[in-house]
Amino acid sequence: MFRNYYPLKIGAGCHGKCKYCTIRHTRGEGYEMVPEEQIEEFLNHEHVVLTSDSPTVSQVKAWCKIAKECNKEISIRNIEPQNLIQCRDELLELADNHLLDIVHCPVQSFDPELLKAMNRNVSSTNAAVDLLHELKEKEVVTATNIIIDYTVEGKLYPNHDIEKLQENFDYYSWNPYFDGNFDMDRAKQRFKKYITKEKVTQ
């Protein structure tokens, strides 16, 4: 969904330990760029999306301030639920001023049991979904990732709440379960089982 956007890289890496994720194995040591040092690059490009594996609260707040001061629209990719909700006031203010284009937040699931199994915070996820819905009502494009084929101790957790996804998000994609043994064929099979082609964009 960001193919026509300018990717302004504000950092990389993540300190999380989610079993489904490959970031810790592929990105190396995490780092953050200083927002104030990237303003010139930001101003020199249109349709800027802030890219990072996990934007921090301080980064998002700083960029909201920069966008407001420069009166220039931004998009944000991959902000985790617990960080998103800490930037609530800043994001809503940008939305009210039509300076927030797309917000992507990987909620992964609406199932409390599954979120706990993934070692993710249920209350933060629920609060993030509520905030994203509020942003969507303010004409911000909302996007997320969901987990497919997550298995814990032999129990398979499907994620197929299409109605809730459509209610809160304009776009959603999927992450296959990763436990050190990635299997694309299996991921595709599960995707077809849980998500219909007519209702999702990969």
- Secondary structure (3-state) at 67: helix
**Alpha carbon distance 2, 185 (integer Å):** 26
- Whole-number Å distance between alpha carbons of 148 and 3: 24
Supply the pLDDT for residue 1: 83
151 has which bridge partners?
Answer: 156
Asked if 121 and 81 count as a contact pair (C-beta separation under 8 A), the reply is yes
User: According to the model, what pLDDT value does residue 132 have?
Assistant: 98
Q: Which amino acid is at 34?
A: V
Closest CA to 34 of 15, 8, 72: 8
- Per-residue tens of pLDDT for the chain, all 202 residues: 888 999 999 987 666 656 556 566 565 566 688 899 999 999 999 999 999 988 999 999 999 999 999 999 999 999 999 999 999 999 999 999 999 999 999 999 898 988 888 888 999 999 999 999 999 999 999 999 988 777 777 777 765 678 888 899 999 887 766 555 666 776 677 667 665 544 444 4
CB of 106 closer than 8 Å to CB of 125: no
DSSP label of 111:
-
The pLDDT of residue 199: 44
Specify the pTM: 0.83
Paired strand residues for 31: 12
CB atoms near residue 174 (< 10 Å): 20
